[in-house]
Structure 1
């Protein structure tokens, strides 16, 4: 799937389009990798191509299912705690599984967000008053940053595969 870049329209249209494009950019950093490469640790942190996607799926659930839909952590359709567990990928999960999980979480986020206006707000512990507009911007920032991380990891992996390291 490739979301067409929209350069004019309502604020909401532009925000949602940019968020969707960043979601896709993050997925593309991992698509086509072997299972071993998707899990390869190239940095000291828990950041791997597959763990970035797992973390992004959790971020979708935290911000939209928990904060906006008001679900409890245990009511969400996957991991939704605000801790390093968001990067944890089980051994039996494949890259395709994690991409599908992120895509499902993103679809659900879109559905939840559709029920609110940009100026609607929620009181969130440790965040204060947030608007839907802020949430969309925060997700754009989050996924753009992680797509950049993914780009760097992918470049390292591709260079290793071609023997250029």
Structure 2
């Protein structure tokens, strides 16, 4: 992770910097992996290194494009349903493609978030009334958790356990 983090100053700058650091940490978990290793399933769920990024890109679209910007699914730049499809990676998508997709979705999220004050609110059917502040914090939490998942998967790939 970057070491030049923002630790004092405006709340928004700190939140946005922390979110960007977690986005970068998630990408760092896949850097240097082969296409095969990026798709390797090491756990029972659909979670693979590449699918974590695919899921994160969908989370960006779900919260910022669909929820905050009010875009229809057809107007989003990729998958934006809240289901297991967020982890689906097509066979013809490379790791570089999925990293670029996540980066594009993240930039669009930044652009959308910039239109709102931290105290602006909207009603979400699942969460109730939420603020932009809450959304940024929820995304920080989401990406930190998934970066941790990515770290564990990467550790398994880099240093496989000896056979029992």
Q: The TM-score by the shorter chain falls in which range? A: over 0.9
- Runs of 4+ displaced beyond 6 Å: none
Aligned to 1:77: 77
Question: Hey, what's the Cα distance between the residues in 2 that align with 1:73 and 1:139?
Answer: 20
Aligned to 2:105: 105
In the alignment, structure 1 segments of 5+ residues that lack a partner are none
Counterpart for residue 11 of structure 1: 11
Kept after mapping to 2: 8 A contact 1:3/1:17 = no
Which runs of no fewer than 5 residues in structure 2 stay unpaired? none
Matches within 5 A, 1:43-58: 43-58=43-58
Give the Cα separation in 2 of the matches to 1:2 and 1:67. Answer: 30
Q: Residues 85-110 of structure 1: CA distance to partner in whole angstroms, max 9, x if unpaired? A: 00000000000000000000000000
Report SS of the residue matched to 1:30: coil
Deviations 1:38-97 (A, max 9, x none): 000000000000000000000000000011100011211100000000000000000000
State the partner residue of 1:35.
Answer: 35
TM-score normalised to structure 1 length: 0.95
Count of matched residue pairs: 162
